[in-house]
Each structure stands twice: as C-alpha cells, then as structure tokens.
Amino acid sequence: MKRQYDENGYRLFRGAMPRDEIGALADTAYDLVTPYRGKILRQNGKLEFNEFLPEPAYQHWGTDHGRYTVLVANPLLNGHISLPEGLEPVSAAIRALITSPALYERLAELDGAEHYTIHQTILFIAAATTALHLDSWTLDTAPHGFSHTVWIPLQDMNYESGVPCVIPWPRNKIVTESELGLTDSDLSFGERYERYQQALSKKLMESGPDVVTSFMRKGDFMVWSSLTPHCSLPSRPRYIKRLSLQVLLRPTHLAWGNFAIQPTQWTPDRAEQVSDRFSFLL
C-alpha cells in the first residue's frame, strides 16, 4: 500500500468509515448550517453570512433580483475548531470523524507516522468545481511531499456529483517554478500561486494526462499527497448538493511549510493535542 502511494501519489479506501456516522454528520451539517443566520469562518478566511447559490434559470447572483436555492455556496473553514454557538453538534461530529481510529490506521499504512497534526478542514455543502492545482502551496512538509489531503464524501457520489480526480504522480516529484519558466521573484505569494498553478496545468494538459476518480460511497475516502495534481470535475446540473469534508494534515514529526517556503517562517502559538494520534493546529 505504501509503495502504491509513493508511486502514484494517491490512495482510495473503501468502506473505511462507518456509514451511519458519515450520514449523521451530513444531516447535522445540512440541517444546522443552512438556516444559520450568523457569520461563520469561510474557506476564504473571512467571517461571512451564508451565500446561497442561485436557481439555474437566474443570472442575478449577488443581487436582490434572482431566485435562490438552499445550497450554501461558501464552504466552512476549520469547522472542527471554529463554529459558533448553535453549531456545536457539527463541530463535535467533524472532530470525532477526523480523529477516528479508522482514519489514523489508514494514514499510518501510507507513511508509518505515529502522530498527525490537522492544519485545516473545509466542509462543503454544494459542489465546487476547482481547477488543476497542488495543495503544497497551502500546506506541505519540509522536505516537500509528505503532507496529506483527505477527501471524505458525506453522501454517495455519482457521475453528476462533481467528484475530485487526481493525476497519478510520484509522491516526491516536484516541478519547480524555474522548470516552468517562472523566474520573476517580485510577485506576492498569491500572485506566484496563481501563476504557478496555471503554468503547471498548461504543461500537464499538453500531454493529455490520465486521471483517476471514483464515484465514492459513504464510508469511502481518498488520500492524496501535497504534490499530487488534482481538480474537481463540474457537477451536473451546475448547482447541486454535494456534502463533503476535506482535511489537510501532516505527520507531526516533520517540519512544515508550503511549496515556496521550506520550512515555514511562521510558528503557531499553540497546537491542541486531542488524542494520542492527532493534534489540531490552532
């Protein structure tokens, strides 16, 4: 299993988590977050109210003139530690899932680590299409390639769901900015990120790469490396309910950084150890 992960940069686990716990988290998240009236920390790092996707026939999203679905468009960031009063059951369910023995045992099969630090979770209620990219720019280890992204569907997936897919990729293979002809160092981190992802995507698509995906069921999950190129396919119809949880973590014994900074120059104030196997970065 470790060899397959090292060679291909991803691993799919079938029936690894209890379906009833996954279903309960999905129901709790949808039922409590959808009607919530307060601000919640979002994927963009800002405290925002729920934004709802428009009905497909309307093109006035962001105005008062369109009709809206009940699908929350802005995903929740770090719901395992940051959800406000009234949403505690969602936070508790996420914490239980991401610190479960089932997750730990599968991660340990991939790298043999004894402890993991969870840096980030993102809870999606609606499908979100993402372009080809690396998670290394958000979180990586020093050296590169040893942090993991875990994608957990909270409902059964099908060909309309907007599922993630990966390009099989050796775990330690890194394509540098200079290899892509990107030599200007006067850009901001955000500008470097966007420029790199676009250049890497262009390079990879020119070769017509193979991709791997799965119509996962509740209880399945996929893990990929920080250096594994991946994206999310478009859902059909465009606006569709797709409850899922993404988790970014690293083996605690490895120094952490990102694609551009090795290791990171920022040291967190503290991390909370929540079990013998997991800590949360706060």
Give the model confidence (pLDDT) of 142-152 as tens digits. 999 999 999 99
Domain boundaries, the chain: 2-281
Kindly calculate the radius of gyration of the chain based on its CA atoms and give it in whole angstroms.
19
Considering the entire predicted model, what is its pTM? 0.94
26 touches 90 (CB < 8 A):
no
6 touches 171 (CB < 8 A):
yes
> Which residues of the chain are modeled with pLDDT < 70?
56-66, 68, 269
Tens-place pLDDT, residues 67-88 = 768 899 999 999 999 899 999 9
* Amino acid at the residue 13: F
Report pLDDT for 181.
Answer: 94
Residue 121, phi then psi, degrees to nearest 5? -130, 150
**Count of C-beta atoms within a 10 Å radius of residue 268:** 11
Residue 208, phi then psi, degrees to nearest 5? 60, 60
64 touches 44 (CB < 8 A):
no
Q: What angle do CA 95, 157, 135 make, to 5 degrees?
A: 55
CATH code of the region 2-281: 2.60.120.620
Report pLDDT for 266.
Answer: 77
Report pLDDT for 22.
Answer: 97
Report pLDDT for 57.
Answer: 52
Report pLDDT for 166.
Answer: 98
Rounded to the nearest 10°, the torsion over CA 144, 188, 191, 280 is 50
Report pLDDT for 66.
Answer: 58
Q: What angle do CA 156, 19, 219 make, to 5 degrees?
A: 65
Rounded to the nearest 10°, the torsion over CA 268, 274, 275, 279 is -20
Report pLDDT for 133.
Answer: 97
